[in-house]
Structure 1
Amino acid sequence: MKLGYLLAASIASVAAAPVSQLDKRLVFYSVSNPLLQVVRNVDIAAKRLVFSYGPGTGGGPPSPGGVLGSAYVETDKLITNAELAAQTLVDSSDSSAAKDDKDKLNGLQTLDDYAKLYDGNWESASAPTGVSPGLLTNYTQDLFFSMQRLSINPYAVRRLIPGEDSLPFAVDDTIVEGLTGKTLATLLSEGRLFYADHSGLAELEHSVNYAAACDAYFYISPASGEFLPLAIRTNYHSNLIYTPADSADDWLLAKILFNADDLFMAQFFHFSGSHFVSEAIYQAAIRTMSEEHPVLAILRRLMYGAFGIRPLAVQVLFPEGGLIDRHFGYSGRAAESYSTYLYQSGISGAVQNNYFKTNLKRRGLIDFVGGPALTHFPFYEDALPLWNAMNTFMTALVNAHYANDAAIAADPELMAWMNEANGPAEVVDFPTSTTMNTRAKLIDLLTHMAHLVSTAHHVVNTNALITAGAVLPFNPGALFKPLPTTKGATDVAQYLPDVDKSLAYIFNTGLFSRPLLAGTDRTIVHMFDDPLMLLRMKPAVGAANTAFKNTMTARSTAVKNRAFDSNGLSQGMPFVWKTLDPDVAPWSLTV
């Protein structure tokens, strides 16, 4: 047992040492050397004795166990809890001010009243960048609703493939032709039809609140080229199908119903697809690589504080009466089981199949040859420059430490990582020791890890919630009155949270925000900017970090300066979206 504590203490002391004190004990990172492998194997064997696997915290794959594994978790909990405590202070201050100012809300009797929730409130600290311009004024526009699928939550929608996919549900062709000029079947055959499916949520345990389990069609307009909504099916009791041909109130209610489902899906897709996946991969690396391995070093940097997040989720999200029960239409226990399903099925959990570009190509969102391209794809537009820069950095790191492709297969620690991940770590769709045979494949894998903890996570979580993804009245987590079984809605506001529930909802979305990290060395600009780690790497890696920071700084300036164009649009949307500003979004996982 003492061995584990010694190892943990040794790792912590080296990590905390000033650079000026490192000259006497600095060990440069290196890949396997046959002459030293016996010594490295002792290091690895010692870690395996005290870093084991325990039950998955909050579902999913295993979490760290053993003396050293538990020490990692406790250390990371300190990081996570400290960040949350700092945010809670500023969020609580904003919440108190909003409560003192709630007389102006008019009891939230109308949809327009909901914009007053944010008027002069929350922006002092919880959301200093403010709600994304356009979110409180343009949300009734169909283009607004459809473009949320390509920005605020880009994980749900896919193109229906001509010749492969059938129509999930029927819509009266008279209505479809009146809206689009073509039949539903023709839209499908021309590769113009898209689909988002939350119907499976109907099988989950509900909370005391209300939710449907919507699926929906979207399409590329033959007339304008815009990406627009076509129909929403509720999958609730009488299973109503709404379209833009319905009354304004009915159609708006349908869009809000869909958004509540979409927000739930986004949060637990991210929980399983970012946290579960990256933790499982990292644990396998800890148990198979020497502390001197450059791959383990970069993974440790990326996974800063990561093991402290799932314990917090179990504490505050999933219990009966927790945040999920209070704000969503499905229970916290349903959220936990849903996360496990998304991971184990590979929907969120598959590693290679969810590589950034691979995932988007598979869903027909980029590089599609059987139909028109999306005119605008804001998530791709903003994530691609970050992914490219991460890929360039990882290319420098891998090429600096591996002379050629043959060196990849010759690294026993790297091969052991592949075997461990595909075995007891329970990683889904991870490369194998047979397929991991080129530097390019290792670069792809490490780039994906960087993507998972940053762009993939923060697009739907962190600052994105209070500024975009969970902004009322259009993006509630649930509805708070039994859902209609016939059309004819006349007062959409009655289905939304009341004043106290709305203020609590905004406060809790604010807890996930990290505005205190903006402009500091905790943003994506500084993802690899660890002086000790870089000192122990080959010189080319330090140069790559400098280039990465310069690229990210320039990208941040471009995002910060984004505004509406002469048509009242930004990236083809009637709102200005800045979630992936690399000098605001953190470089590692947060709650």
Structure 2
Amino acid sequence: MTSSASATLFLLCGTWFGGAWGYTIPQGPADAVRRGAAINTTRAGFLYGPAVAGGPLYPSGILGQAKIAADIENEQLETTPNTVLVAEDKARASSSAEQYQGLDTFEEYLLLYQGQWAKTLPKGPAPGVLTNYTQDLFFSMERLANSAFSVRRLPRSSELPFQVEYPIVSMVTGSSLSLQKLLQDGRLFYADHRAQAAWPKTTNKFAAACDAYFYISKRGQFLPLAIRTNVGSNLIYTPVDEHADWTLAKIMFNVNDFFFAQTWHLAATHEIVQIAWMAAIRTLSIEHPIYALLDRLTYQLFAIQPLAQSFLFDNGTAFDTLFPITGTGARNFVTELYFNGTGAFKEGYFETDLKKRGLIHGDGPKLAHFPYYENASTIHNAMRSFMRAFIKSFYKSDRAVQGDPEIQAWAAEANGPAKAIGFPSKFDSIDGLVDALTHIAHLVSTVHHSVNTNNLLSISATLPMHPASLYKPVPTAKGITSVAQYLPPLFDPFKTILVAFADIISSARPLIANSTRSLSYMFDSPTFLNGSNRETRTAATNFKEAMFAFSRRIQGRTFDKDGLSQGAPFIWRALDPTEAPFSLTI
């Protein structure tokens, strides 16, 4: 290896503090030529290789492999203590079988949480999960909090995906409104998981392929209207069905939504950021401030794909043992999602996505409460404020942005060899650059951690309402007498429950809470700030203080006089900046 390549390897995988001169953008043609020589060395050793766990390209070449190894080492150092906590909680749970009373009834599944999982989820499930879990409002408001990426408002001109008879709609809504009238009023919402029916199934695990309607009631609440199974007898369930039937219908939808969230988030966060970072490594000098920023935001990023393959997709791992669709099917589903819209960079911008799905500024009544948006927008605004201060400290005008050959090369690389989808074709302005960088920060934090990490164990994978699969085939007729028979059994084998919890709690990161790995410290890092300037350091301090203040607000939330928090019968704290990480995890 040449001395130049050795230096590049160290700077890619080691620690660089910006040198005595600090981060700089190219200072004229001569400086661009000097920096370009080092960039070319990186390009020769950091190459595009085939995908490892579905989706876009993945690093190869001597520098690419070294960067992967460094990310994996960092990830393992961080998660090893967490693994010890998981093992302790699993051992305690396995010795408590008598406590669970056989899990013969629906309510006995709540016993799984009594005195358990204290190391990995010290605060327990989200307030309301163990008391209000059967409420329809709980089920519907999850679509606006911890699982906010599968639902959309139907445009008034839409054709109805399926029909529900007027008398039933009237009974559900308590009004004279028909399904067509709800549509015309802009009050009808839809989630569609029918595509899951086509993928290969695991043995002895079952699922429907639900689509569902939600609506805004005359009182302004966001509520469920109907769930269709799309398998077998293709039954349509509504809240006026018998309690057991309707409860199972909500569980069947949750099974589909759980699978969707776990596959979708890989395509929508990890893989979008991965390909943008690869293009940046091959085009930005390590002296560039944006390189330093992206290096911070992508901490451990390249560890995710090999871990996902070995932990989620390989034969006999998480998808094969817990979910109704095989690991191979799940990996291919991720790839299909990525290349069929989910992987589009600019289309996923925070408000762009929510507007496109009619969840904000929609053609109809405003959602009275939208917990995901309310939480994420506070963090997003703070991230954007940091990015604006950061970028303006290096670029004094739009012309300066246009004249930076490295960031223009980043855009060209992303749209060329990297084959990124919907990435800016060029950077014309400070605002455009701020938008792109804010979006990357948004993906690694306020998107990812709303559906994964601590969110899983606290609400999105809690039993009895959120199993990863059904354990009996989808009913062919209504009139079931026991919901528990469809849930993971305690025995036959007992490991079913333990495997499920162990895999879920492995995603939790309790040791990150109140540490410098938390979201509050996203920009407050000596490695990043030592090479930066006064404006950037001030902006990082302002961001951290804003996050501490927001965390206090989140931690102070309680139920109001109606037993609700942000319109939901649970308190959602997944985006607490002192507990969520500042970067992607698995």
Alignment TM class, shorter chain as reference: over 0.9
**C-alpha distance in 1, partners of 2:333/2:416?**
23
**C-alpha distance in 1, partners of 2:380/2:366?**
21
Partner of residue 297, structure 2: 302
Q: Which of residues 521, 526, 541 is equivalent to 1:531?
A: 526
Partner of residue 358, structure 1: 352
Q: Which of residues 217, 221, 228 is equivalent to 2:217?
A: 221
Aligned letter for 1:246?
D
Partner of residue 392, structure 2: 399
Q: Which of residues 365, 374, 383 is equivalent to 2:376?
A: 383
Partner of residue 8, structure 2: 7
Q: Which of residues 153, 168, 176 is equivalent to 1:159?
A: 153
Deviation of residue 11 (structure 1)? 4.5
**C-alpha distance in 1, partners of 2:21/2:278?**
23
**C-alpha distance in 1, partners of 2:116/2:12?**
44
Q: Taking structure 1 as reference, are residues 504 and 42 closer, same or farther at Cα in structure 2, changes over 3 Å only?
A: same
8 A Cα contact 2:470 2:488, kept in partner: yes
Aligned letter for 1:177?
S
8 A Cα contact 1:4 1:67, kept in partner: no
Partner of residue 409, structure 1: 402
Partner of residue 315, structure 2: 320
Q: Decide which moves more: 79-88 or 40-49.
A: 79-88
Deviation of residue 10 (structure 1)? 4.1
**C-alpha distance in 2, partners of 1:335/1:129?**
31
Deviation of residue 392 (structure 1)? 0.2
8 A Cα contact 1:280 1:425, kept in partner: yes
Q: How does 1:509-588 map to 2 (within 5 A)?
A: 509-588=504-583
Q: Which of residues 161, 168, 172 is equivalent to 2:165?
A: 172
Aligned letter for 2:415?
N
Aligned letter for 1:288?
T
Q: How does 1:51-130 map to 2 (within 5 A)?
A: 51-123=46-118, 125-130=119-124
| Residue 332 of structure 2 is aligned to residue 337 of structure 1 | yes
**C-alpha distance in 1, partners of 2:516/2:527?**
15
Deviation of residue 84 (structure 1)? 2.7
Moved segments of 4+, more than 3 Å: 1-6, 10-15
Aligned letter for 1:575?
F
Relative to the length of structure 1, the TM-score reads 0.96
- What's the RMSD between the two structures over aligned residues? 1.2
Partner of residue 372, structure 1: 365
- SS of the residue aligned with 1:488? coil
Q: Taking structure 1 as reference, are residues 11 and 232 closer, same or farther at Cα in structure 2, changes over 3 Å only?
A: closer
Deviation of residue 6 (structure 1)? 3.5
- SS of the residue aligned with 1:230? strand
Aligned letter for 1:543?
T
Deviation of residue 5 (structure 1)? 3.7
- SS of the residue aligned with 2:475? coil
**C-alpha distance in 1, partners of 2:95/2:182?**
52
For residues 548-584 of structure 1, give each alpha carbon's deviation from its aligned partner in whole angstroms, at most 9, with x where no partner exists: 0110000011111111111111111111111110000
Deviation of residue 14 (structure 1)? 4.1
8 A Cα contact 1:524 1:585, kept in partner: yes
Q: How does 1:367-516 map to 2 (within 5 A)?
A: 367-368=361-362, 370-433=363-426, 436-499=427-490, 500=494, 501-516=496-511
- SS of the residue aligned with 2:313? coil
Gaps of 5+ in 2: none
**C-alpha distance in 1, partners of 2:382/2:521?**
12
Aligned letter for 1:131?
P
8 A Cα contact 1:563 1:576, kept in partner: yes
Deviation of residue 538 (structure 1)? 2.3
**C-alpha distance in 2, partners of 1:195/1:233?**
11
- SS of the residue aligned with 1:273? helix
Deviation of residue 322 (structure 1)? 0.9
Q: Which of residues 340, 343, 349 is equivalent to 1:349?
A: 343
- SS of the residue aligned with 1:36? helix
Deviation of residue 102 (structure 1)? 1.4
8 A Cα contact 1:27 1:292, kept in partner: no
8 A Cα contact 2:402 2:428, kept in partner: yes
For residues 436-470 of structure 1, give each alpha carbon's deviation from its aligned partner in whole angstroms, at most 9, with x where no partner exists: 21100110100000011111101111111111110
8 A Cα contact 1:5 1:68, kept in partner: no
Partner of residue 293, structure 1: 288
- SS of the residue aligned with 1:536? coil
8 A Cα contact 2:206 2:471, kept in partner: yes
**C-alpha distance in 2, partners of 1:31/1:129?**
45
Identity score, percent: 45
Relative to the length of structure 2, the TM-score reads 0.97
Deviation of residue 13 (structure 1)? 5.0
Deviation of residue 351 (structure 1)? 0.8
Deviation of residue 477 (structure 1)? 0.6
